[in-house]
Structure 1
Amino acid sequence: MDRCDECGFVYASVSPADLPALLRALGGRYAAALGAARAPRRRPAERVWSPLEYTCHVRDVLRVQGERLVLALTVTAPEFAPMGRDERAVAEAYNEQAPAVVLADLADAADALAARFDGLGPAELARTGVYPWPQPRARTLLWLGQHTVHEGEHHLLDIRRAG
Protein backbone atom coordinates (compact mmCIF):
# COMPACT_ATOMS: atom_id res chain seq x y z
CA MET A 1 0.00 0.00 0.00
CA ASP A 2 1.48 3.28 -1.11
CA ARG A 3 -1.68 5.36 -1.34
CA CYS A 4 -5.06 5.32 0.39
CA ASP A 5 -7.90 5.86 -2.05
CA GLU A 6 -10.35 6.58 0.78
CA CYS A 7 -8.52 9.42 2.49
CA GLY A 8 -6.07 10.41 -0.26
CA PHE A 9 -2.94 9.84 1.82
CA VAL A 10 0.20 9.31 -0.27
CA TYR A 11 2.97 7.52 1.61
CA ALA A 12 5.80 9.06 -0.45
CA SER A 13 4.61 12.52 0.63
CA VAL A 14 6.11 11.85 4.07
CA SER A 15 9.88 12.22 4.06
CA PRO A 16 12.11 10.77 6.77
CA ALA A 17 12.78 14.31 8.00
CA ASP A 18 9.02 14.99 8.33
CA LEU A 19 8.16 11.81 10.22
CA PRO A 20 8.96 12.93 13.79
CA ALA A 21 7.04 16.21 13.57
CA LEU A 22 4.02 14.55 11.95
CA LEU A 23 3.94 11.88 14.65
CA ARG A 24 4.32 14.40 17.48
CA ALA A 25 1.47 16.49 16.07
CA LEU A 26 -0.99 13.62 16.45
CA GLY A 27 -1.44 14.27 20.17
CA GLY A 28 -2.84 17.76 19.69
CA ARG A 29 -4.80 16.84 16.60
CA TYR A 30 -6.57 13.98 18.39
CA ALA A 31 -7.29 16.17 21.40
CA ALA A 32 -8.97 18.69 19.09
CA ALA A 33 -10.88 16.05 17.12
CA LEU A 34 -12.14 14.16 20.16
CA GLY A 35 -13.01 17.44 21.87
CA ALA A 36 -15.09 18.45 18.87
CA ALA A 37 -17.00 15.16 18.74
CA ARG A 38 -20.62 15.66 19.79
CA ALA A 39 -20.93 12.14 21.19
CA PRO A 40 -17.44 10.65 21.64
CA ARG A 41 -18.75 7.25 22.81
CA ARG A 42 -21.51 6.88 20.20
CA ARG A 43 -21.03 4.48 17.33
CA PRO A 44 -22.51 6.01 14.16
CA ALA A 45 -23.28 2.56 12.71
CA GLU A 46 -23.21 -1.04 13.88
CA ARG A 47 -19.69 -1.89 12.68
CA VAL A 48 -18.20 1.59 12.94
CA TRP A 49 -16.21 2.61 16.00
CA SER A 50 -16.96 5.66 18.10
CA PRO A 51 -14.56 8.63 18.10
CA LEU A 52 -13.20 7.44 21.46
CA GLU A 53 -12.63 3.93 20.14
CA TYR A 54 -10.72 5.29 17.13
CA THR A 55 -8.61 7.38 19.50
CA CYS A 56 -7.82 4.33 21.64
CA HIS A 57 -6.92 2.40 18.49
CA VAL A 58 -4.48 5.06 17.30
CA ARG A 59 -2.88 5.19 20.76
CA ASP A 60 -2.34 1.44 20.54
CA VAL A 61 -1.10 1.62 16.94
CA LEU A 62 1.56 4.09 18.07
CA ARG A 63 2.62 1.77 20.89
CA VAL A 64 2.69 -1.35 18.70
CA GLN A 65 4.58 0.42 15.92
CA GLY A 66 7.18 1.47 18.49
CA GLU A 67 7.61 -2.16 19.54
CA ARG A 68 7.90 -3.21 15.89
CA LEU A 69 10.51 -0.54 15.21
CA VAL A 70 12.66 -1.73 18.12
CA LEU A 71 12.30 -5.34 16.98
CA ALA A 72 13.35 -4.50 13.42
CA LEU A 73 16.41 -2.68 14.72
CA THR A 74 17.51 -5.66 16.80
CA VAL A 75 16.42 -8.65 14.66
CA THR A 76 17.05 -9.14 10.97
CA ALA A 77 13.77 -9.19 8.98
CA PRO A 78 11.40 -10.02 11.86
CA GLU A 79 7.79 -11.00 11.33
CA PHE A 80 5.51 -8.55 13.10
CA ALA A 81 2.59 -10.15 14.90
CA PRO A 82 -0.84 -8.74 14.08
CA MET A 83 -1.99 -6.27 16.74
CA GLY A 84 -5.45 -7.83 17.05
CA ARG A 85 -7.23 -4.53 16.63
CA ASP A 86 -10.80 -5.80 17.04
CA GLU A 87 -9.96 -8.18 19.87
CA ARG A 88 -8.00 -5.45 21.65
CA ALA A 89 -10.92 -3.01 21.40
CA VAL A 90 -13.18 -5.50 23.18
CA ALA A 91 -10.64 -6.81 25.70
CA GLU A 92 -9.60 -3.31 26.75
CA ALA A 93 -13.15 -1.88 26.63
CA TYR A 94 -12.11 1.05 24.46
CA ASN A 95 -15.43 2.83 24.75
CA GLU A 96 -15.33 2.77 28.56
CA GLN A 97 -11.92 4.43 28.90
CA ALA A 98 -11.47 7.97 30.20
CA PRO A 99 -10.93 10.32 27.24
CA ALA A 100 -8.41 12.52 29.06
CA VAL A 101 -6.28 9.51 29.95
CA VAL A 102 -6.49 8.12 26.42
CA LEU A 103 -5.43 11.46 24.95
CA ALA A 104 -2.50 11.80 27.35
CA ASP A 105 -1.38 8.25 26.56
CA LEU A 106 -1.74 8.88 22.80
CA ALA A 107 0.39 12.03 23.05
CA ASP A 108 3.04 10.15 25.06
CA ALA A 109 3.09 7.26 22.57
CA ALA A 110 3.32 9.69 19.64
CA ASP A 111 6.22 11.54 21.28
CA ALA A 112 8.04 8.30 22.09
CA LEU A 113 7.69 6.96 18.54
CA ALA A 114 8.73 10.32 17.08
CA ALA A 115 11.86 10.30 19.25
CA ARG A 116 12.73 6.80 18.01
CA PHE A 117 12.34 7.84 14.37
CA ASP A 118 14.21 11.10 14.97
CA GLY A 119 17.47 9.27 15.58
CA LEU A 120 17.35 6.93 12.57
CA GLY A 121 19.56 7.29 9.54
CA PRO A 122 19.10 5.92 6.04
CA ALA A 123 20.51 2.47 6.88
CA GLU A 124 18.12 2.01 9.81
CA LEU A 125 15.13 3.31 7.85
CA ALA A 126 15.91 0.74 5.14
CA ARG A 127 15.75 -2.19 7.58
CA THR A 128 12.75 -4.41 7.03
CA GLY A 129 10.20 -6.48 8.87
CA VAL A 130 7.33 -8.56 7.56
CA TYR A 131 4.23 -6.45 8.11
CA PRO A 132 1.02 -8.51 8.50
CA TRP A 133 -1.49 -6.18 6.80
CA PRO A 134 -3.17 -6.23 4.34
CA GLN A 135 -1.18 -9.36 3.54
CA PRO A 136 2.24 -10.30 4.92
CA ARG A 137 4.93 -8.33 3.08
CA ALA A 138 8.43 -7.08 3.84
CA ARG A 139 8.27 -3.36 4.62
CA THR A 140 10.97 -0.85 5.50
CA LEU A 141 11.02 1.11 8.72
CA LEU A 142 10.45 4.22 6.63
CA TRP A 143 7.22 2.65 5.35
CA LEU A 144 6.32 1.69 8.94
CA GLY A 145 6.60 5.35 9.92
CA GLN A 146 4.67 6.53 6.89
CA HIS A 147 1.97 3.94 7.54
CA THR A 148 1.70 5.10 11.14
CA VAL A 149 1.19 8.69 10.00
CA HIS A 150 -1.44 7.37 7.58
CA GLU A 151 -3.24 5.54 10.40
CA GLY A 152 -3.33 8.77 12.37
CA GLU A 153 -4.60 10.82 9.43
CA HIS A 154 -7.14 8.26 8.31
CA HIS A 155 -8.71 7.82 11.72
CA LEU A 156 -8.97 11.58 12.20
CA LEU A 157 -11.16 11.45 9.11
CA ASP A 158 -13.18 8.62 10.71
CA ILE A 159 -13.70 10.70 13.86
CA ARG A 160 -14.87 13.72 11.85
CA ARG A 161 -17.29 11.53 9.90
CA ALA A 162 -18.68 10.02 13.12
CA GLY A 163 -19.47 13.52 14.35
Structure 2
Amino acid sequence: MSDDAVTPDDKDWTWVLTRPCAECGFDPARPVEEHLDALEQHVLRWREVLVRTDVRARPAPGTWSPLEYACHVRDVLDVMASRALNIREEDAPTFPGWDQDAAAIEKDYAGDRPLAVADEIAERAGWFAQAYAGVRDDEWERRGRRGDGADFTLRTLALYTAHELVHHAHDVSA
Protein backbone atom coordinates (compact mmCIF):
# COMPACT_ATOMS: atom_id res chain seq x y z
CA MET A 1 0.00 0.00 0.00
CA SER A 2 1.34 3.45 -0.88
CA ASP A 3 1.56 6.20 1.73
CA ASP A 4 -1.37 8.00 0.14
CA ALA A 5 -3.67 4.95 0.15
CA VAL A 6 -6.31 4.87 2.87
CA THR A 7 -6.58 1.74 4.97
CA PRO A 8 -10.01 0.23 4.16
CA ASP A 9 -12.40 0.00 7.09
CA ASP A 10 -13.72 -3.54 7.11
CA LYS A 11 -15.18 -3.49 10.65
CA ASP A 12 -18.80 -4.41 11.23
CA TRP A 13 -20.10 -1.22 12.85
CA THR A 14 -23.64 -2.54 13.44
CA TRP A 15 -22.75 -3.06 17.11
CA VAL A 16 -23.32 0.70 17.57
CA LEU A 17 -27.04 -0.03 17.37
CA THR A 18 -27.00 -1.84 20.71
CA ARG A 19 -24.33 -0.18 22.83
CA PRO A 20 -22.62 3.21 23.17
CA CYS A 21 -19.48 3.97 21.19
CA ALA A 22 -16.70 4.61 23.70
CA GLU A 23 -14.64 6.38 21.05
CA CYS A 24 -17.12 9.10 20.00
CA GLY A 25 -19.75 8.99 22.77
CA PHE A 26 -22.68 8.06 20.51
CA ASP A 27 -25.53 6.51 22.52
CA PRO A 28 -28.10 4.45 20.60
CA ALA A 29 -30.38 4.39 23.67
CA ARG A 30 -31.30 8.04 23.09
CA PRO A 31 -34.59 8.39 21.22
CA VAL A 32 -34.14 8.27 17.44
CA GLU A 33 -36.02 11.55 17.16
CA GLU A 34 -33.29 13.30 19.17
CA HIS A 35 -30.68 12.03 16.74
CA LEU A 36 -32.73 13.20 13.77
CA ASP A 37 -33.26 16.61 15.38
CA ALA A 38 -29.46 17.00 15.61
CA LEU A 39 -29.01 16.99 11.81
CA GLU A 40 -28.79 20.77 11.59
CA GLN A 41 -26.04 20.81 14.24
CA HIS A 42 -24.08 18.27 12.18
CA VAL A 43 -24.41 20.43 9.07
CA LEU A 44 -23.04 23.44 10.97
CA ARG A 45 -20.22 21.35 12.45
CA TRP A 46 -19.10 20.16 9.01
CA ARG A 47 -19.23 23.69 7.65
CA GLU A 48 -16.80 24.70 10.43
CA VAL A 49 -14.52 21.78 9.58
CA LEU A 50 -14.51 22.58 5.89
CA VAL A 51 -13.14 26.12 6.35
CA ARG A 52 -10.15 24.95 8.39
CA THR A 53 -6.71 25.54 6.92
CA ASP A 54 -5.82 21.85 7.43
CA VAL A 55 -8.91 20.55 5.61
CA ARG A 56 -6.83 18.67 3.01
CA ALA A 57 -4.14 17.39 5.40
CA ARG A 58 -4.17 13.74 6.37
CA PRO A 59 -3.34 13.35 10.06
CA ALA A 60 -1.47 10.10 9.38
CA PRO A 61 -0.69 7.87 6.42
CA GLY A 62 -3.71 5.72 5.65
CA THR A 63 -6.18 8.09 7.35
CA TRP A 64 -8.62 10.37 5.52
CA SER A 65 -8.27 14.13 5.68
CA PRO A 66 -11.12 16.23 7.12
CA LEU A 67 -12.22 16.95 3.53
CA GLU A 68 -12.32 13.26 2.67
CA TYR A 69 -14.33 12.50 5.81
CA ALA A 70 -16.72 15.30 4.90
CA CYS A 71 -17.21 13.85 1.42
CA HIS A 72 -17.90 10.49 3.03
CA VAL A 73 -20.49 12.06 5.33
CA ARG A 74 -22.14 13.72 2.32
CA ASP A 75 -22.36 10.36 0.55
CA VAL A 76 -23.52 8.51 3.68
CA LEU A 77 -26.45 10.92 3.95
CA ASP A 78 -27.28 10.35 0.29
CA VAL A 79 -27.06 6.54 0.46
CA MET A 80 -28.98 6.31 3.73
CA ALA A 81 -31.75 8.65 2.57
CA SER A 82 -32.25 6.38 -0.42
CA ARG A 83 -32.30 3.30 1.79
CA ALA A 84 -34.80 4.89 4.19
CA LEU A 85 -37.12 5.67 1.27
CA ASN A 86 -36.71 2.08 0.01
CA ILE A 87 -37.76 0.75 3.41
CA ARG A 88 -40.78 3.05 3.49
CA GLU A 89 -41.87 2.23 -0.06
CA GLU A 90 -41.02 -1.49 -0.43
CA ASP A 91 -41.50 -4.60 1.67
CA ALA A 92 -38.14 -5.83 2.98
CA PRO A 93 -35.88 -4.37 0.26
CA THR A 94 -32.28 -5.48 -0.17
CA PHE A 95 -29.93 -2.57 -0.61
CA PRO A 96 -27.26 -2.62 -3.28
CA GLY A 97 -23.71 -2.77 -1.97
CA TRP A 98 -21.81 0.45 -1.39
CA ASP A 99 -18.04 0.45 -1.17
CA GLN A 100 -17.10 3.62 0.69
CA ASP A 101 -13.42 3.22 -0.13
CA ALA A 102 -14.08 2.82 -3.85
CA ALA A 103 -16.39 5.85 -3.73
CA ALA A 104 -13.58 7.94 -2.20
CA ILE A 105 -11.31 7.09 -5.11
CA GLU A 106 -13.92 7.27 -7.89
CA LYS A 107 -15.25 10.64 -6.71
CA ASP A 108 -11.78 11.98 -5.85
CA TYR A 109 -12.73 13.01 -2.32
CA ALA A 110 -9.25 14.45 -1.78
CA GLY A 111 -9.63 16.81 -4.74
CA ASP A 112 -13.13 18.06 -3.97
CA ARG A 113 -13.90 21.70 -3.19
CA PRO A 114 -14.49 22.18 0.56
CA LEU A 115 -17.18 24.87 0.36
CA ALA A 116 -19.08 22.94 -2.29
CA VAL A 117 -18.94 19.89 -0.03
CA ALA A 118 -20.33 21.98 2.86
CA ASP A 119 -23.30 22.95 0.68
CA GLU A 120 -23.76 19.36 -0.47
CA ILE A 121 -23.80 18.09 3.12
CA ALA A 122 -26.57 20.59 3.91
CA GLU A 123 -28.49 19.46 0.84
CA ARG A 124 -28.08 15.75 1.61
CA ALA A 125 -29.03 16.29 5.26
CA GLY A 126 -32.23 17.87 3.96
CA TRP A 127 -32.88 14.80 1.79
CA PHE A 128 -32.21 12.52 4.74
CA ALA A 129 -34.58 14.52 6.97
CA GLN A 130 -37.21 14.41 4.22
CA ALA A 131 -36.89 10.62 4.00
CA TYR A 132 -37.85 10.48 7.68
CA ALA A 133 -40.50 13.22 7.62
CA GLY A 134 -43.85 12.03 8.86
CA VAL A 135 -42.76 8.50 9.80
CA ARG A 136 -45.74 6.86 11.47
CA ASP A 137 -45.34 4.81 14.65
CA ASP A 138 -46.10 1.62 12.69
CA GLU A 139 -43.33 2.36 10.15
CA TRP A 140 -40.32 2.49 12.48
CA GLU A 141 -39.90 -1.29 12.52
CA ARG A 142 -40.18 -1.79 8.73
CA ARG A 143 -37.14 -3.74 7.56
CA GLY A 144 -34.51 -3.70 4.87
CA ARG A 145 -31.37 -5.74 4.36
CA ARG A 146 -27.89 -4.66 3.41
CA GLY A 147 -26.16 -6.69 0.69
CA ASP A 148 -23.92 -8.33 3.32
CA GLY A 149 -26.99 -9.66 5.15
CA ALA A 150 -27.17 -7.06 7.95
CA ASP A 151 -30.81 -6.28 8.76
CA PHE A 152 -31.96 -2.76 9.51
CA THR A 153 -35.25 -1.23 10.51
CA LEU A 154 -36.13 2.32 9.65
CA ARG A 155 -35.22 3.16 13.26
CA THR A 156 -31.85 1.38 13.27
CA LEU A 157 -30.93 2.85 9.89
CA ALA A 158 -31.46 6.33 11.37
CA LEU A 159 -29.34 5.42 14.40
CA TYR A 160 -26.58 3.92 12.24
CA THR A 161 -26.50 7.09 10.14
CA ALA A 162 -26.48 9.30 13.24
CA HIS A 163 -23.48 7.36 14.54
CA GLU A 164 -21.66 7.96 11.24
CA LEU A 165 -22.17 11.71 11.65
CA VAL A 166 -21.11 11.80 15.29
CA HIS A 167 -18.17 9.45 14.86
CA HIS A 168 -16.69 11.19 11.84
CA ALA A 169 -17.03 14.59 13.50
CA HIS A 170 -15.01 13.05 16.32
CA ASP A 171 -12.48 11.72 13.79
CA VAL A 172 -11.74 15.25 12.56
CA SER A 173 -12.00 17.14 15.85
CA ALA A 174 -9.05 19.47 16.16
1:130–1:138 contact (8 Å) kept in structure 2: yes
Aligned-pair CA distance for 1:30: 0.7
TM-score normalized by the length of structure 1:
0.88
Counterpart pick for 1:148 among 141, 154, 161: 161
Residue of structure 1 equivalent to 2:29 = 12
2-side partners of 1:144 and 1:32: how far apart?
Answer: 26
2-side partners of 1:82 and 1:45: how far apart?
Answer: 28
Q: Provide the secondary structure at the position in 1 that maps to 2:144.
A: strand
Paired residues for 1:4-83 under 5 Å: 4-13=21-30, 15-35=31-51, 37-83=52-98
- Residues 106-138 of structure 1, C-alpha deviation per residue, up to 9 Å, x if partnerless? 011112211221310122111111135xx6321
Residue of structure 1 equivalent to 2:105 = 90
Residue of structure 2 equivalent to 1:159 = 172
TM-score normalized by the length of structure 2:
0.83
More helix by share: 1
Residue of structure 1 equivalent to 2:8 = none
- Residues 83-126 of structure 1, C-alpha deviation per residue, up to 9 Å, x if partnerless? 21000000000011111110001011112211221310122111
Larger RCO (CA within 8 A; separation ≥ 6)? 1
Instruction: Say if 2:141 is the partner of 1:126.
Output: yes
Instruction: Say if 2:120 is the partner of 1:105.
Output: yes
1-side partners of 2:169 and 2:110: how far apart?
Answer: 17
Counterpart residue identity of residue 23, structure 1: L
2-side partners of 1:28 and 1:79: how far apart?
Answer: 32
CA RMSD of aligned residues (A): 1.6
Q: Provide the secondary structure at the position in 2 that maps to 1:129.
A: strand
Aligned-pair CA distance for 1:44: 1.3
2:73–2:168 contact (8 Å) kept in structure 1: yes
Residue of structure 1 equivalent to 2:12 = none
Residue of structure 1 equivalent to 2:151 = 138
Percent identical across equivalent pairs? 33
Counterpart residue identity of residue 81, structure 2: G
